[in-house]
Structure 1
Amino acid sequence: MNIKYLSALRSGATPLAIGMALVSTAAFAQDAATTAAPQSVDCSTTPDDPSCGDTQAIVVTGSILRRTDTETVSPVTTVTQENLDQRGISTVQEGLQSLAANNGPALTNSFTANGAFAAGASAISLRGLSTNSTLVLFDGMRAAYYPLADDGSRNFVDLNTIPDDIVDRVQILRDGASAAYGADAIAGVVNIITKREFKGVRARGEAGLSDRGDASQYRLSLTAGVGDIDENGYNAYVSGFYYKSNKLMNRDRPYPFNTDDLRNVCSPDDECGSDDRINSPTATSFTGAGGPLVVRPYDPTNTTALGRFQLLNNVGCDSAYTLTAAQLAASAAAPLQTCTVDLTRKYGVIQPEIERWGVSARVTAALSDSIEGYAEFNFLQSKSAYTGLPEAISRNANAGILFPGFSTSNNAASRAPGSFALTLPVYVCANGVGDASGLNTGCNATNGTLNPNNPFAGAGQLARIQGRLFDQPTYNETRNRAYRGAIGIKGDLTDNINFDFGATAMHDDLRRTQKGYVYIANLLTAIARGTYNFVDPTQNTQEQNDFLRPTQILNATSDQVQFQGTLGADLFELPGGKLQVAVGAGARYEAVDAPSGNPDYFGPTQRYFTLNAFGTKGSRWVYSGFAEINAPVLDKVEINLAGRYDKYSSGQNAFSPKAGIKFKPVDELLIRGTWSKGFRIPSFGEANALPTTGFVTNGAGIFNDAYLSQYGCTVATFSDCPTYLRSASYGQTTLASPDLKPERSRSFTAGFVFEPVRNFTLSVDYYNIKKTGVITQPSNAPALEAYYTGQPIPAGYTVIADAVSPDFPNATPRLAFIQSQLINANTQTVSGLDFQIDGRINLTDNIRFTSHLEASYIIKLESDLTNSGGGLERYDGTLGNFNLTAGSGTPKWHGYWLNGLQFDDNLEINTTVNYFGGYNLSAMDQGDLYKDCGQNPGYSPTGCDIPRYITFDLQTRFKVNDRFTLSLTALNLFDNMPPVDVVTYGAHLYNPIQGGQGILGRYFKVGFQADF
């Protein structure tokens, strides 16, 4: 159906449009005018729903064919801004995180405050297959990767770069679509479609606050547009917004999320956790390097301890504590007096401070009576900031490049080559050199002075020092600026031939600022010269602090440029309709430049203690050709075939075929299915990056009784083990590999849509995805088992022992790092079911009831790692896979149920039940058996299984008049806190994916919309 643009030709708008016309299949999927839907809908099953557009020919996500029939062979779910408003969801990013198909290793904004590699970003993970197996598009075109990779290796698109107020709808393709889009679409595609036109002026505002008076947020936006494409031949609009979300601390939430004292966290059989505050009265060790600064006297050769540790200062202490005679008798190293510190209560952050703002502009114009062009520009800045733990100055440094696992062990016998025991010398002088051994700093009684930081200097004794510098917390800030431009032209050449051509360019400019981290070389120099006051750090000048902890500013960028064109034709009539054919070609350039913030090129001390060494740089061109045929061979049967070839300048290539069928035996029933092959190219982080180290919390399952007996406990009594074992973690260091091959995938779906009566629809779709050559780190299980049983470490692994515990000097130390290189493992398979129910009914002439249920169930998610030293590992319903999920698990169920009442056009009341399934405290990649409870430390309040998590939201909207609408939302109305999870990391005692929003508690938001 052609659109008439004669008024545009007469008005002279065409020359302006021609001057701006150049880009995008970004327009591919957005021909329909802005619409609103009562709920998220499946456009492949409910094509008459207004959210699926009008009868104008459009391109549905997953296809390159223009069509008026939106009942595609692939399951496609559409979510509109109206749907998000009904659920009380403020941003598209939050809406995508709540998708039923989003599961497992998603990346949330809250994870930023808990050590995420890709701090400041948000990403989803369809089917639990990690962030790099879900392709995110803007108007059908690719976007630039976030400069920092998830876990230092997985590239993804940051959802925080979405310009919310110009989003018309989001289409989620729930099957593989590599034939249409190329790499990374293994688990599915999320296509964010912006508004084709906007008329008038719209102002929106919202403010939110928890019922505890914290975690406030607010958002303001203004959008204005002129012109009507149908009437005037053009439309132009501009939109801007500002969003702010304030930080939330652990101390602001109830027990046990606000403390390290877990004595009241008890299992069903009354086994309780410990008081894990630093130096608590019930602690089994008082010499940990994570507490207040302590020193211990050593002889002049720095080999023999001459006494106990003693507290050097009480900065950061909560309360003083004098050790009992029994505690002193149990350890020859423990100090006589110490102090207790609750790190979580003082420094724990639940949610970082987030600030976003942006501006967008678009012009769409008629170039003729059948050809349309557009140009669009977006700018968005997103900033995220949080404070972290004060820096510890005696510990294993994060694994570097040339000196992995560089250690500052305080036990001479456990020192690796190049490591040292951090020691305060007897004398200091202005020309002292940075030698931490304390044996020779170039200072003596003749040219130096007694070290004021060494309380044993007067006796001629060295002082080994360890602990945290509690005078200053660390600080992390990411500021990402995203610039995107797109231009496009499309239309009909004849009644049967159409074309689309588009181009887009996007640039991400990220700045990461990190303060309060100790630079090792500067620390050694300050020790040798006595220029830093360790006895009373509050007396140090800003200059002294800046020298010890220099601010690091890391600049990283990423780029994406894409050109793409298609030519489509309706060839001839078949029994069910016209045979459609489309061909296309494209080229794109992608690049990432994210330098390491902590390399050790100049030696093991020319770096920070705890910052990661990860960084990457790379670029490549990709050239593509693709085609699609849609054949309605019978009135009731439609067959779809597609294929794509991609060639990479880095040497890889891939062919991706796809086939689908749609069968509609009766009007009430649609049966559909697809089969496809796809691929995922090795990311820049996987193929060309510096080592990355993530930390895995020690669970009982990684140990054995023989090893634990050295510490006076067993696996069964793991909660009684020393904090040295129980509350520690080991570093999982990943090495990139330039020899990696693309992951290959095979995917098929099969489902049906049943509509027995009008306005009631039930759909069920089965999916099965199998990846081969999966890029992953080898399972840690063989290395863990070998180390803790005293066996030779298997080939392909490097393990680094931690410092020996001063309280157990003769015991084998815990493991500090496992290092291995990424490989193409055997296979990974996931299968599951998607459910959707939609219903609408008019209760009276002016009251309408709507209901929408969406749920996803993972039947099985497993990996066969036989070729990588492991075996068959199954993850669904457990905490695994740690290599993919950061220990946040893979719950089987995820979904929500939205119900609404509409009273005339003036009042809406909507309720949403959110459901996130539970999981077993086990992980096969950590040495456990499937669902054997191997990660349970013994005091999990719910036993071996973390229960399901259900929250209830209430949203109301009142239309004051034709121009003004008010809304009131209560999220988590019953103030249901997340289940306590004593194992998951990334959050304190709860799962950041399962309970990421629920931890805010009952939360109220009030908003308005004004149209002029």
Structure 2
Amino acid sequence: MQCKMKSLPLAVVGALTVLAVPAMAQDATANQPAVQRVVVTGSLISRADKETPAPVQVLTAEDLAKSGHTSVAEVLSSLSANGQGTLGTGFAGAFANGAAGVSLRGLTVGLTLVLIDGHRMAPYPLSDDAQRQFVDITSIPFDAVERIEVLKDGASDIYGSDAVAGVVNVILKKTYKGTSVKADVGNSQHGGGKTHKVGIISGFGDLVEDGYNAFVSAEFRHADAIKVYQRDSQFWASGDWRALGGVSQQRGVPSALNSFLAPGSSPFFYNPTGTGGVKNPANFQFLDPSCNYDKYMAGGCWVRDTVSNLQPESQNVNLLAGFTKKLGEDWTLAVKASQFRRTGINARGLPTTFSASSFTGNTALIPGQGPNIVNIYGSTVFPATYPLNKLGAPARLYGQIPDIGPDRTQDNTSTAQRLAVDLTGSWMGWDIGAAGGLTKVEVKDRYSGYVNRYALYQALNRATNPFNPLGGNSPADMAVISPRFVNVTESKLQFAELHGTRELMQLPGGPLSIATGLSWTHKDLNAPPASLLSQGVVGNGSAYAFGKETDTAAFAELAGSPVKNLETSVSARYDHYDTYGNSFTPGAKFKWTATPMLSIRGTFAKGFRAPNAAEVGTASAFFSFHGIDDPILCKDGNPKTAGNVPSACGYTPTFVQLTTKDLQPETSKSYTLGAILEPSRDINASLDYYKIDVRNQINTASGLPGFVPSYVRNQPFPVDIADGKGGTVQGIPSVGTIAYATSGYVNAGRTMTTGAELDLRARHRFGDLGTGRAELVLTHMISYQITNAGTTVELAGTHGPAVIGGDTGSPKNRANLTLGWDRGPMSLTATVNWVDSYSALDPAQGAAAMDCSHAASVVGNRNYFFGSVTPPQFCRISSFATTDLNLSYKLSPNLTLRGSILNLFDKQPPIDVATYGNSGALTAYNASLHQSGAVGRFFSMGLNYQF
């Protein structure tokens, strides 16, 4: 007999999760099971009614299985409430490489709290945008999940920091009796993404009969990468926009955007001072006879990208063990230990090339030191006496550096370890819950494909046995020029919680109950930078963050029914942080059952997000987000004006992010008001309005209107300078090019979002024909406004705010429609996931009043594809809908066969030229919203045997 955990965790912060009403193993033969009271996410007090005052969406283990997916991250990414700022594995350039996070209401992963069994988990040590901490959902085991509860309301009054937009509570199995073995295989129709998954869970002991239960769950999942080249027959992945008047981003194809100097299949020397410039074949010398000037200019020397990922290779090995023991009639001890390991191989696909202009150095970013420009050694122009240079004049070398192997990669292994102990029982009329736990996430990154350019140019200019641009160089040379290195970061979180609940008295409408408790949470982040990057040896310094914080909190909730059919509750929480001080967050809820068919509900809550180590600790990072014209080297913004440096026009400067020690927490107020209609047992509908107002937001100062950066410049070196006649000459400008500018964090800005959500569920029995079921969850964003320096912009239905989490976009509408049919041993489920269309503009960057075709320098990556003019058909991203089909059939009482087709109709993703949150300049689709389109039709089959 399989025992299922029926209770839900309490709160993340008080021992809210282990209530004295926790798991109850129910006898499958019982005819009339007693009404069970459970604790639902968002409250401390148990209840019998599944419809709570706050909107909560529940995904059961059965729902997960019927989705056709095999990972928690895939399921949560399609939530209609998941929006702007969500983080997916398709974003190759993310700071939080390889991880995925949820962003409820589009308020970023940092304002959505993710719990496991109602308790906090250590955050991923690599923060989103090097700022926002979140829990990586890719490492959560799929088969060990009992259910997932998504609270779509602010809940800092119960859970504390981060629960501003809502809470995702992943409840793992608490008890299990018997053995279940699952095996799944899947493959994409268009190549790549082949998936294998095997899971086993086995347990023994009955809590009622034996007084204990113990189980172990193990899961292995491996998914092959999906490469860009496996989809490059599709326009959105081809990188070639010439047919529409744009340019090609394919490697080695010359265009105006790369000054017709594109490293391709053959390295070549180019004389920048020769007559006619790039229009004169005499200025080029190709070192490989397979390429010549005419072939090169026609794009015939391009190199296919076989490295970049649309979806990285990943592997999960998850282990979970649980032991539950009844200590007496009223007391139960539950211990759960787990290790979730995810390995991802993420090739960035950036061509490793010889420097195309003067080498001005890298910026070192070492903890405890200010930014420092290092490895400066001069021009990359090779003299006429250089042995390989046959042009008779100083020349530059263009081409991809040979012998490095695959392009730049970052193999990422994340190991999440967790030990949680829960003790529940009754004492002197109180239901007591005590909990404690240790959690840790370690990430090991293995880097390859990076270049020590100082060593490279020394090797190129050696008097004897110089580095050969055509390849065949010694392993000893390559070990110095392209070293492999490893970096380890870790995040720890410990917690202890104690709470109690009891009934105080009877009110006219029912009991008055109280819950109160204490919690203690300690975080420790140790995320050093990769040493060779930090020192500026193989590039600009990488992000780092160090810091500790301790939160001590007290909380309470009072719930009762002062009159019949009216349910009310008030709650409050007081947090003391050793980093900034105190936060007090109250909340209130009500639910009025006007008739058996109609209920009205509403909530109010204050919330907060405490500044984290990346913002107030010892931390720094590089970032860039918009293009500028260098105020000195490109004064009028015209790259052809005499004296201007063309590469300084439309330039995206680098910023060094600094911490600010005296930051205060972000604060919020959230409201919901809704109605629940239940005309029969088989039809249920709810419609809820929400409003979340976040103030005092922690933003980088450089993103605020009126910010005037102070640029640090490189030393002046020879560069191309416009001659005013359409060409360039080599010269030394009056000042060096921009290396970086610094920016601190500030409490400034406000985000306010409003919307409505419809949840409609219906079931109908058709006698011997079976049972039909349907569920529609539709989220409509009414408004999404951000305010900075007194200026408010509306972003609902646009691509803004582009500076957050890979530029996901803010479509107004998302929906999930599930249709099912159950008959005897068969269950058929079809799920339609729909994302509305939205504008490619980001009004937050000043583009609201601009015509889309002229917004290239403001919005996303348009200049990658079209330069300054974008065809109007790409100024709006089309709506997108995919259909997933899943069929399960019980071949016997113990054996179940499952088959699914994801993206049944093989819908391609809509073209999105604005986003940067994908696999780079070659692709033009939104990996956060439309990843299933990039994968294409996907088939899978599975078997489940229980005994």
TM superposition score category, shorter chain reference: 0.7 to 0.9
Pairwise CA distance, 1:488: 1.1
1:607 corresponds, among 523, 531, 537, to: 537
* SS of residue paired to 1:627: strand
2:123 aligned counterpart, secondary structure: coil
- 1:925 Cα deviation from its structure 2 partner: 3.0
2:892 pairs with 957, 961, 966, which one? 961
Within 5 Å, give how 1:779-818 maps onto structure 2.
780=703, 794-796=707-709, 798=711, 806=720, 808=722
SS at match of 2:768: coil
> 1:910 corresponds to which residue?
829
Q: Give the direction of change, closer, same or farther, for the CA distance of 1:768–1:86 in structure 2 (3 Å limit).
A: same
Once the two structures are TM-superposed, the CA of residue 1002 in structure 1 deviates from its matched residue by: 0.8
Q: Quick one: which amino acid aligns to residue 351 of structure 1?
A: Q
Q: Distance in 2 between matches of 1:393 and 1:478?
A: 27
User: What does residue 1011 of structure 1 align with?
Assistant: 946
Q: Distance in 1 between matches of 2:815 and 2:414?
A: 31
Could you tell me how far apart the structure 1 residues matched to 2:240 and 2:582 are?
Answer: 55
The CA distance in 1 between the partners of 2:478 and 2:454, in whole Å, is 14
**Residues 251, 184 of structure 1: alpha-carbon distance in 2 compared, 3 angstrom cutoff:** same
Q: Is the 8 A contact 1:183 1:680 kept in 2?
A: yes
- Residue pair 2:418, 2:438 contacting (<8 A) in 1 also: yes
Match of 1:980 in 2: 911
C-alpha contact 1:374 1:487 (8 A) present in aligned 2: yes
Deviation of 1:194 after TM superposition, in Å, equals: 1.3
In the alignment, is the contact (CA less than 8 A) between 1:393 and 1:518 conserved in 2?
A: no
Shift of 1:96: 1.3
CA–CA distance in structure 2, aligned partners of residues 54 and 469 of structure 1: 72
Match of 2:253 in 1: 280
* C-alpha contact 2:492 2:524 (8 A) present in aligned 1: yes
- Indicate the residue corresponding to 1:478 in structure 2: 412
CA distance in 2, matches of 1:998, 1:353: 18
Aligned residue number for residue 95 of structure 2? 117
Alignment of 1:432-511 (within 5 A): 452=387, 463-465=395-397, 467-471=399-403, 472=405, 473-494=407-428, 496-511=429-444
Q: Within 5 Å, which residues of 2 pair with 1:430-829? A: 452=387, 463-465=395-397, 467-471=399-403, 472=405, 473-494=407-428, 496-527=429-460, 529=462, 533-597=466-530, 606-609=536-539, 612-696=541-625, 707=636, 709-711=638-640, 730-731=653-654, 733-778=656-701, 780=703, 794-796=707-709, 798=711, 806=720, 808=722, 819-829=742-752
Equivalent residues of 1:899, 1:910 under 8 A apart? yes
Can you give the 5+ residue segments of structure 2 that lack an aligned partner in the other structure?
4-13, 274-279
CA distance in 2, matches of 1:949, 1:980: 10
Q: In the alignment, residue 422 of structure 1 is paired with which amino acid?
A: T
For the 8 Å contact 2:883–2:902, the answer to whether it is kept is yes
1:698 is displaced (CA, Å) by 5.8
The 1:308/1:62 distance shift into structure 2, 3 A limit, reads: farther
Q: Which amino acid aligns with 1:894?
A: R
Q: Describe the superposition over 1:96-119 as per-residue Cα deviations: whole angstroms up to 9, x where unpaired.
A: 1111110111111222xx211111
Q: Check whether the contact 1:32–1:196 (CA below 8 A) recurs between aligned residues.
A: yes
In the TM superposition, what whole-angstrom CA distance separates every residue of 1:174-195 from its partner, at most 9, and x where no partner exists?
Answer: 1011011110000000111111
Shift of the 186–224 alpha-carbon distance from structure 1 to 2, 3 Å rule, reads same
Q: 1:692 to 1:585 in 2, by over 3 A?
A: same
Residue aligning to 1:328: none
Contact 1:28–1:139 at 8 Å: present in 2 too? no
Once the two structures are superposed, residues 220-275 of structure 1 have per-residue CA deviations (whole angstroms, 9 ceiling, x without a partner) of 000001011122211110010100010111111132233221123x4xxxxx3223
More deviation, 255-264/272-281: 272-281
Q: Distance in 2 between matches of 1:772 and 1:804?
A: 48
Alignment partners' CA distance in 1, 2:708 and 2:648: 28
8 Å contact kept, 1:97–1:124: yes
- Please report how far the alpha carbon of residue 298 of structure 1 lies from its aligned counterpart in structure 2 after TM superposition: 9.1
Give the structure 2 partner of residue 55 of structure 1.
35
Q: Identical aligned pairs, as a percentage?
A: 28
Using the alignment, how far apart are the partners of 2:851 and 2:680 within structure 1?
46
The residue number in structure 1 matching 2:766 is 843
Among 184, 190, 201, the alignment partner of 1:212 is: 190
Q: Give 1:82-231 correspondences, 5 Å limit.
A: 82-111=62-91, 114-231=92-209
Match of 2:929 in 1: 994
- How many correspondences in the alignment? 883
Q: Which residue of 1 aligns with 2:353?
A: 392
Tell me the C-alpha RMSD between the 2 structures: 3.5
Query: Post-superposition shift, 1:982?
Result: 1.8
Range 991-1000 or range 249-258, more displaced: 249-258
Give 2:422's aligned amino acid: G
Map 1:882-893; keep pairs closer than 5 Å.
882-893=802-813
Deviations 1:769-795 (A, max 9, x none): 111111112464857xxxxxxxxxx53
Q: For 2:81, what is the secondary structure of its paired residue? A: coil
* C-alpha deviation, 1:70, in angstroms: 3.5
SS at match of 2:913: coil
Distance in 1 of aligned mates of 2:465 and 2:812? 53
Q: Which amino acid in structure 1 is aligned with residue 939 of structure 2?
A: F
Residues 616 and 685, structure 1, Cα contact 8 Å, conserved in 2: yes
- The alignment partner of 1:109 has SS state of coil
Q: Which one-letter code corresponds to 1:747 in the other structure?
A: S
SS in 2 for 1:856: strand
Aligned mate of 1:364, from 303, 324, 328: 324
Change beyond 3 A, Cα 1:161–1:732: same
| TM-fit CA distance, 1:651 | 3.0
Alpha-carbon separation, structure 2, partners of 1:872 and 1:797: 26
Distance 1:781 1:464, change over 3 A: farther
CA offset at residue 516 of structure 1?
1.2
Q: For residue 320 of structure 1, what is the aligned residue in structure 2?
A: 291
Per-residue CA deviations over 1:48-80 (Å, capped at 9, x if unaligned) read xx9xx9733322111112333343221111111
CA displacement, residues 852-878 of structure 1 (integer Å, 9 cap, x when unaligned):
1112111111211116xxx22332211
Bigger drift between 808-817 and 998-1007 goes to 808-817
Equivalent pair of 1:859/1:892 in contact (CA under 8 Å): yes
CA distance in 2, matches of 1:197, 1:574: 36
- Kindly tell me: are residues 550 and 735 of structure 1, through their superposed partners in 2, closer, same or farther at Cα, counting changes over 3 Å? same
Aligned counterpart for 2:230 among listed residues 246, 252, 269:
252
For residues 635-688 of structure 1, give each alpha carbon's deviation from its aligned partner in whole angstroms, at most 9, with x where no partner exists: 121211100111112232101111111111111111111111111011211223
Q: Which residue of 2 aligns with 1:14?
A: none
Q: Counterparts of 1:698 and 1:311 in 2: how far apart (Å)?
A: 33
Distance 1:341 1:369, change over 3 A: farther
Residues 21 and 37 in structure 2, CA contact (< 8 A), matched pair in contact too: no
For residues 899-932 of structure 1, the C-alpha deviation after alignment (integer angstroms, 9 at most, x for no partner) is 001112x111111111012211111232211685
* Distance in 1 of aligned mates of 2:163 and 2:850: 30
- Indicate the residue corresponding to 1:380 in structure 2: 340
TM-aligned CA deviation for residue 165 of structure 1: 1.9
Contact 2:199 2:217 (8 Å CA) reproduced: yes
TM-score, normalised with respect to structure 2: 0.86
Q: Distance in 2 between matches of 1:911 and 1:883?
A: 36
Q: Distance in 1 between matches of 2:944 and 2:850?
A: 49
| Cross-structure match for 2:7 | none
Q: Is the 8 A contact 2:668 2:692 kept in 1?
A: yes
Give 1:283 shift: 4.7
Q: Which runs of 5+ in 1 are unaligned?
A: 4-22, 37-49, 267-271, 300-305, 325-335, 409-417, 427-449, 713-721, 784-793
Q: Against the structure 1 CA distance between its residues 106 and 399, is the aligned structure 2 distance closer, same or farther, given a 3 Å change threshold?
A: farther
Is this contact kept in 2: 1:864–1:872, CA < 8 A? yes
- Structure 1 residue aligned with 2:379: 421
User: Residues 652 and 338 (structure 1 numbering): CA distance in 2 closer, same or farther, change over 3 Å?
Assistant: farther
- Check conservation: 2:20, 2:431, Cα contact below 8 A: no
